[in-house]
Amino acid sequence: MVRMVIIYLLFFSSYCVAQVQHCDIFHVDQSDENYSVVEFVKSHIGKKVGNGMCMTLVTEAYKTKYSNWTYDKLYDHDTLIKHEITFDNAQPGDIIRFVYPFPQPSHIGIITAVVGNIIWYANQNSGFDNMPKMEVEDQGEKSEVFINSRVCYEMIDVTKRGNTDIWLFRF
């Protein structure tokens, strides 16, 4: 039974990603302020960016928009508060951050499309707790990443997020 579930998940997730890559909802006009961010993400689907951490994907994508972008902007509470937006204002290229109940770490990605209550986002280093991980050092701190960490699309219905806090930011 477990084997069938895994095969189904692998097939379904691959099928979904293949379908979404060619979907018009991921189109961003070149005149859009976040065009370079979204294009960076789209060009890295299926690839590992940097050390594979979710924060690295966001940092590298935002460097295409702001040459002086640094990792620590996403940890500075005062900066984040100034850039927080609502679900109604979300658009491709915005940052989505998931804050889970303790002790799980937070997770971050880049919005690629918004359709009604559904937010599509790209991220890396997401998976299940029992998947193999390795330790990496980033900004002087050690973290774990999934060994097969790659950029992929996921979606969430913001009306059905359970006990997860979701924050959105626009820079």
Determine the angle formed by the axes of helices 35-43 and 54-63, rounding to 10 degrees: 130
Quick one: how far is CA 95 from the chain centroid? 8
What is the per-residue pLDDT across 108-134, written as a single tens digit (0 to 9) for each? 999 999 988 999 999 998 866 666 777
The pLDDT assigned to 18 comes to 41
Nearest CA-CA partner of 25 in 96, 111, 87: 111
Amino acid at 161: R
Residue ranges and CATH numbers for the domains of the chain are 2-169 (3.90.1720)
Per-residue pLDDT for 28 more than 70? yes
Q: Would you state the pLDDT for residue 48?
A: 93
Task: Please give the structure tokens belonging to residue 153.
Answer: 């699309």
107/138 Cα distance (integer angstroms): 15
Burial 9-38 (b: 16+ CB within 10 A, else e): eeeeeeeeeeebeeeeebebeeeeebbbbb
- Closest alpha carbon to 14 in 41, 45, 54, 40: 45
For residues 101 and 89, what is the distance between their CA atoms, to the nearest angstrom? 25
What are the distances in angstroms from CA 101 to CA 36, 82, 94, 106, 167?
33, 24, 23, 9, 14
- pLDDT of 142 higher than 70: yes
Cα 120 to Cα 20: distance, rounded to the nearest angstrom = 9
User: pLDDT category, 25, cuts 50, 70, 90?
Assistant: low
